[in-house]
Amino acid sequence: MKITFDWLQDHLKTNLKEKHLLEQLTNIGLEVESVDSLSADTELFKIAKIVKTEKHPNADRLKVCDVDVGEKEFKKVVCGAANAREGLITIYAPPGATIPKTKTKLVVAKIRGVTSYGMLCSEAELNLSNESEGITELSKKFEKNIGKKFFSKSKSNLIDLSITPNRPDCLGVRGIARDLVASGFGKLLELKQKKIKSTIKQTLKVKINKEKNQGCTAFGSCLITNVKNTESPQWLKDKLISVGQKPISAIVDVTNYVMLDINRPLHAYDVDKIEKGIIVRSSNSGEKFTALDNKDYKLEKGMCVISDQKGVLGLGGIIGGTRSGTELDTKNILLESAYFEPRSIRNTSKKLNLDTDAKFRFERGIDPSSIEDGLNKAALLIKDICGGKISKIDIQRIETNKIKTIKFDPNLFEKITGFNISIKEIFKILEDLGFKIKKEKNYLKLIIPTWRPDISKEIDIVEELVRITGYDKIKIIDPIKERNKSTLTQSQKLFHFLQRAIASKGYLEAITWSFTDSNYNNHFKDKNKEIKIVNPISSDLGVLRNSIFSNLIMYMNKNLDRGFKDLSIFEIGPVFTGSNPGEQNTVVCGLSAGKKSRLSWIEKERNVDVFDVKRDVVQTLVEAGYNSDKFFIDSETPNYYHPGKSGRLFLNRDKNQVVAYFGEIHPNILKKIDVKTESLVGFEILIDNLELPKKTLNDQKTKFEVSDYQKSERDFAFIVAKEVKAQDLINVISKLDQKLISNINVFDIYEGENIPENKKSIAISVTIQSTEKTLNDNDLENINNLIIKTVENKTGAKIRS
Amino acid sequence: MSDLKKIRDEFISKLKGKLNLSEINQIKSELFGKNGLVSSQFKKIGTIVESERKKFATDLNVIKDELQDLINSKIDEVENAEINKKLDKEKIDITLPERPFVRGKIHPVSQTIDEISSIFSEIGFSVEEGPDVENEYNNFTALNTPDDHPARDMHDTFYLDEKKQKLLRTHTSPVQIRTMLKDKPPFKIIAPGRTYRSDSDQTHAPMFHQVEGLHIDKNINMGHLKGCLNYLIKEFFEVDKIKMRFRPSHFPFTEPSAEVDIGYEMKNGKIIIGEGNQWLEILGCGMVHPNVLKNVKVDPTKFQGYAFGIGIDRLAMLKYGINDLRAFFDCDYRWLSHFGFDPLDVPTNYRGLSR
């Protein structure tokens, strides 16, 4: 909502300055978004006419225009606008002028070899609208003003307010003035609106159909006959220009002015184009009409339309149609001032994807009692400017305006805000805002002003009072430093622990979108179904990610392209298994690329491999409190891992839930995505599958038991079938005597010479130590034999002699 | 001169010369070997007249100790010299690079979440979570934003079905609903997490982070809200004083509602919080609307309180001088290394939030 201090002063009297105004507006909740000085150099902008256009000799899209700016000689201006044509009346900015939008100062410049003196401006460049296609087009009526200033001498700055959706009343200057006055910023001037005094009947019949979900509850109108539509007088043009609106013609300007002044949208019809009266009704499915934006709309059933015998004239409260629109030669007009239900407006505009100024206002709620004021104000102004005769006002209603009241207990104010104001203050603020108050025994009975659809509860009154009194009056109550409940749950602690544990292994934490490119996602979705976003911001962010890998690998690739070779990144966050709330899992996912110790003078370089990520996963889980002696690993992994070089990890042999996958990324995927690196390995830890450690840190720390008896190491080499897993051997041995066997380590794997085909040798070192005594040779020999015998029996291994 | 003194003087002077290890050992055996000069003197003790015997023995012991000490120190000296000579040959170029190491980092958003959680932990808030995919009811309707409310247009929503029933949450406020439906008042929670809006330009990302706050009890008023946020901002920016401004605003789920600005100024291209005359909007808040409480079966005549929502990314940008929001999610190795935090830098109350 754009206003000026000048315009505000039509409604309030104050001694305060603009500086105070800006502060006060923000303090009462009408946030000042920006303040633009319109007056800076705007005097330099002139109404001008293009006399001749020629194609630019060196550029296809540019034209060289001769422009009449009211001086003896025409100005040569180079212009790129498609609509620059001979005869067009537009706005000219001379060298030295500063363009309001871009704040750039114009100079005489050569454009592709042709000197251009100044510039022809678009509406956007002048802050008149957002229209940046082409240069401003002024109507023929401006022809007699060529050479005159377009902007009048306005000393008032353009103030842009951000009005929250609950405050339709502040979409009119008067509403803003009323709020300001309530806060002590001057005195509200009374509106002495003259009323139409007419003996002429409004002869065009208007009927509102009583039907279910009728979007229009009141339709006021009057006829103005024999008008001569013309250019608006200077004061009106100045007023509109001062808030960034482009004057068009008197009738349109007047309706815009009334809308901006008191937030009362109006619509003017050319009566002669209406066939036998107006019917306000619900649309039928498939009805069509051409709107004033020159687009054709096909309507669904149940939209509120203004129609005549022939069909739809317009969408009530949203946009009029071309068939009954006023034109320069319009003689007789019907002025409409109606009330449309916000819900109906919103439904229709959403379905048709239509956004207009009228829609914006009606969907927030227009004052239903402003119908008559709007007609009086606009009709009399039109008559003043365009002549003609006004009829009596006709108002059709299918519902009477209800008076809304509220019981307000003044004690609620302090209960909510923590501070107190007097009953006297309460009365003053509410009365200034337009409430009528009746004091009852324990409460105030308030009649809510008709322009405040947002107020329906006691709490709304508290807001009004505290807003106007000032939020700075609220006292700070310092928080008490006490805690009755732990801040994080066990699983939240685990989340944070894993996050930092992985980072401490050399991985950089990344945060990527929860959505991804379906092409990438397809590589990593395994058995999950694709979850599409109906309205993605772009097609390459069209699905929720089934795995974090899709994003990580995409970004990994970008970093590789930047010339980095050895990188590790990870992300901790959600992956999705369905489109219902809760169908998501939290995963820590890491990727590691390239080599270890590349180009080191001291260490051998090698590619990162599956045992690097296995270490990262296992070490992290051990750090988080899980017992690696119980881990069980097999090689069944999702299809995006290398089938031979990947594993999945369970916390124990019961294999209840997979807690991690790790391995090389499938070479086919690397090929398809074109990842250029020596090696790419990754892992996923499925946090939600991790049972929380049963023992708290506290429990784990209670007992300290170590053995000081001598330990001895025994080495074994077993020949086993190739498919036998090291894990199986370790398991067999560790179960033999947990009191004696304190550590098992695989120190060599060998295939080849001296080993039969399809067999391999696994060399294991076992540490044997008792907590009770020093073992003698006999004891050791026994355990030795036991190990050999059991391993041979259970795994088909043969000890290597 | 006695024999003893002669032996002493002769060998001391010998030992002062330059000797190698075998020469010293030679001397050692000359003196203390089976028939060594000193050893022989000891054998003589018995033959000495009684009146002189005591003095002789004492003198002999003194000389023996003196010579032995000297020999030992001489051996040490020579051995040390030999070791030093050997070590000298082993000297390496210690300026060569150490064995390679890699450094992981924590993303600034994660760090900021931990900082905020730590701050709220002090005053008794606990952390709640909710799913990223929400239903329309929790995200809007339960929060007093019915379908025909224009405030819905303020949220550009990603939908997962044509009927617009399932969506990516546009704010963390649905966690309020979930928390209050699950438990009984009082409530004192924060809920950090990912949020989504279909909006993307220089200053907006389609995904960003918010932290929701909710405190509902019997007598919680706007003064508590102000106190809580004042404490948060002061602690978060680690400054003694801040400038803070509450402005009336509108959110369907709070009444009265406020937006909060903090005062700042720019010094040498860096933002200084707590000084200056510029205002920066950082959060929205208000007293939870009675309709919201009714929707979650909390009696608004008995319980009341406040809620707020803060953009985490924005806070991180301010605190750590990050200019570009989009870079948070661009995953550039250089950016992550530069703005990331060491995993050992866990924000805690006792140590302070940051180093």
Chain segment A328-353, per-residue pLDDT in tens: 888 999 999 999 999 999 999 988 98
Share of chain A above pLDDT 70, in %: 98
What's the whole-number mean pLDDT along residues B150-176?
A: 89
Give the integer Cα–Cα distance in Å for A127 and A559. Answer: 43
Residue A699 lies in a domain: no
In this structure, the strands spanning B126-127 and B187-196 are parallel
* Residue from A430, A425, A387, A429 nearest A406 by CA: A430
* Amino acid sitting at position A339: Y
Q: A201: which residues sit within 8 A by CB, 6+ positions away?
A: A391, A392
Q: Does residue B23 sit in helix, strand or coil?
A: helix
Q: Is the confidence at residue B233, as pLDDT, over 90?
A: yes
Expressed in percent and rounded to 5, the helix, strand and coil fractions of chain A are 30, 25, 45
Q: Label residue A147 by pLDDT band (50, 70, 90).
A: confident
* Amino acid sitting at position A462: V
Q: Is the confidence at residue A160, as pLDDT, over 60?
A: yes
- Are B127 and A487 a contacting pair at CB < 8 A? yes
CATH of the domain at A427: 3.30.56.10
Among all residues of chain B, which has the CA nearest to that of A341?
B148
Residues of chain A positioned with their CB less than 8 A from the CB of B124? 479-485
For residue A38, the model assigns a pLDDT of 62
- Which of A351, A366, A468, A533 is the best substitution to test chain B (most B C-beta atoms within 10 A)? A533
What's the whole-number mean pLDDT along residues B182-203?
A: 91
Q: Given the structure tokens 């500063």, which residue do they identify?
A: A98
Q: Is the confidence at residue A747, as pLDDT, over 60?
A: yes
Q: Is the confidence at residue A613, as pLDDT, over 60?
A: yes
Structure tokens at B254: 């709070």
Helix and strand counts by DSSP (H, E) for chain B: 11, 10
DSSP state of B326: G
Radius of gyration of chain A, Cα coordinates, nearest whole angstrom: 40
For the beta sheet containing A158-162, the strands, ordered from the edge strand earlier in sequence to the opposite edge, are A2-3, A158-162, A31-36
Min CA distance, A350 vs chain B (Å)? 10
**Cα distances (Å, whole numbers) of residue A354 to A69, A256, A701, B199:** 38, 19, 68, 19
Residues of chain A positioned with their CB less than 8 A from the CB of B100? 596-597, 600, 603
* Residue from A358, A314, A313 nearest A339 by CA: A358
Give yes or no: residues A516 and A428 share one domain. no
Q: Given the structure tokens 């960034």, which residue do they identify?
A: A244
What's the whole-number mean pLDDT along residues A440-463?
A: 95
Residue A729 lies in a domain: yes
Would an 8 Å CB–CB cutoff place A162 in contact with chain B? no
For residue A40, the model assigns a pLDDT of 55
Q: Given the structure tokens 């996958």, which residue do they identify?
A: A661
B59 contacts B4 by C-beta, under 8 angstroms: yes
Q: Is the confidence at residue A137, as pLDDT, over 80?
A: yes
Question: CA angle, corner A361, sides to A14 and A254, nearest 5?
Answer: 65
Evaluate the CA torsion angle A329, A331, A337, A338 in order and state its sign: negative
Helix and strand counts by DSSP (H, E) for chain A: 19, 43
Give yes or no: residues A660 and A517 share one domain. yes
CATH of the domain at A226: 3.50.40.10
Q: Given the structure tokens 């219902």, which residue do they identify?
A: A580
Residues of chain B positioned with their CB less than 8 A from the CB of A562? 332-334
Give yes or no: residues A373 and A426 share one domain. no
* Amino acid sitting at position A766: V
For residue A737, the model assigns a pLDDT of 83
For residue B1, the model assigns a pLDDT of 47
* Residue from A136, A138, A149 nearest A248 by CA: A138
Give the integer Cα–Cα distance in Å for A174 and A188. Answer: 9
- Are A510 and B97 a contacting pair at CB < 8 A? no
Domain map (residue ranges) of chain B: 3-89, 108-339
For residue A39, the model assigns a pLDDT of 55
Weakest-pLDDT range from A416-420, A571-575, A720-724, B270-274: B270-274
Domain count, chain A: 6
Q: What is the pLDDT of residues A250-262, one digit of tens each?
A: 999 999 999 999 9
Min CA distance, B137 vs chain A (Å)? 11
Q: Given the structure tokens 């200077």, which residue do they identify?
A: A234
Min CA distance, A501 vs chain B (Å)? 8
Residue A696 lies in a domain: no
- Are A584 and B250 a contacting pair at CB < 8 A? no
Higher per-residue confidence, B269 vs A633: A633
- Of A500, A544, A580, which has the smallest distance from its Cβ to B343's Cβ? A500
Structure tokens at A114: 């042709």
Residues of chain A positioned with their CB less than 8 A from the CB of B250? 29, 164-167
Question: CA angle, corner A723, sides to A717 and A724, nearest 5?
Answer: 45
Q: Is the confidence at residue A56, as pLDDT, over 90?
A: no
Give the integer Cα–Cα distance in Å for A441 and A438. Answer: 10
Q: Given the structure tokens 């900082």, which residue do they identify?
A: B115
Give the integer Cα–Cα distance in Å for A189 and A171. Answer: 18
Q: Is the confidence at residue A554, as pLDDT, over 60?
A: yes
Q: A570: which residues sit within 8 A by CB, 6+ positions away?
A: A502, A503, A507, A508, A509, A510, A552, A588, A589, A590, A591, B104
Question: CA angle, corner A653, sides to A647 and A654, nearest 5?
Answer: 115
Q: Is the confidence at residue B170, as pLDDT, over 60?
A: yes
pTM of the entire structure? 0.85
- Which of A344, A360, A494, A511 is the best substitution to test chain B (most B C-beta atoms within 10 A)? A511
Would an 8 Å CB–CB cutoff place A60 in contact with chain B? no
DSSP state of B275: -
Residue A221 lies in a domain: yes
Q: What is the pLDDT of residues A370-384, one digit of tens each?
A: 999 999 999 999 999
Structure tokens at A129: 């609208």
Give the integer Cα–Cα distance in Å for A312 and A625. Answer: 73
Give the integer Cα–Cα distance in Å for B65 and A343. Answer: 113
Q: Is the confidence at residue A93, as pLDDT, over 60?
A: yes
Q: What is the pLDDT of residues B35-80, one digit of tens each?
A: 888 888 888 888 888 888 888 888 888 988 998 999 999 999 889 9
Residues of chain B positioned with their CB less than 8 A from the CB of A568? 102, 104
What's the whole-number mean pLDDT along residues A648-666?
A: 94
User: What domain range is A462 assigned to?
Assistant: 405-471
Give yes or no: residues A34 and A46 share one domain. no
What's the whole-number mean pLDDT along residues A492-506?
A: 96
Residue A440 lies in a domain: yes
For residue B152, the model assigns a pLDDT of 75
A253 contacts A403 by C-beta, under 8 angstroms: no
A508 contacts A564 by C-beta, under 8 angstroms: no
Q: Is the confidence at residue A277, as pLDDT, over 70?
A: yes
Give yes or no: residues A226 and A85 share one domain. no
Would an 8 Å CB–CB cutoff place A463 in contact with chain B? yes
* Residue from A317, A316, A435 nearest A366 by CA: A317
Give yes or no: residues A635 and A662 share one domain. yes
Q: Label residue B18 by pLDDT band (50, 70, 90).
A: confident
Give yes or no: residues A353 and A251 share one domain. yes
* Residue from A340, A367, A179 nearest A259 by CA: A367
Q: Write down how long chain A is.
A: 801
Give yes or no: residues A244 and A376 share one domain. yes
Give yes or no: residues A531 and A616 share one domain. yes
A718 contacts A764 by C-beta, under 8 angstroms: yes
Describe the crossing of helices B37-44 and B50-89 by its angle, rounded to 10 degrees. 160
Using the 3D structure, point to which of A380, A397, A414 is the last residue of a domain.
Answer: A397
Give the integer Cα–Cα distance in Å for A221 and A376. Answer: 10
Give the integer Cα–Cα distance in Å for A590 and A574. Answer: 14
Q: Is the confidence at residue A153, as pLDDT, over 70?
A: no
Give yes or no: residues A619 and A646 share one domain. yes
A&B contacts, CB < 8 Å: 264
Asked whether the bond before A95 is cis by omega within 30 degrees of 0, the reply is no
Give yes or no: residues A302 and A410 share one domain. no
Q: A110: which residues sit within 8 A by CB, 6+ positions away?
A: A116
Q: Does residue A348 sit in helix, strand or coil?
A: helix
Residues of chain B positioned with their CB less than 8 A from the CB of A574? 131-132, 194
Q: How many CB atoms lie within 10 A of CB A350?
A: 16
In this structure, the strands spanning A216-225 and A394-397 are antiparallel
Give yes or no: residues A61 and A141 share one domain. yes
* Residue from A180, A262, A171, A132 nearest A13 by CA: A180
Residue burial A651-684, b: 16+ Cβ < 10 Å; e: rest? beeeeeebbbbbbbbbeebbeebebebebbbbbb
Domain B108-339 sits in CATH at 3.30.930.10
* Amino acid sitting at position A41: D
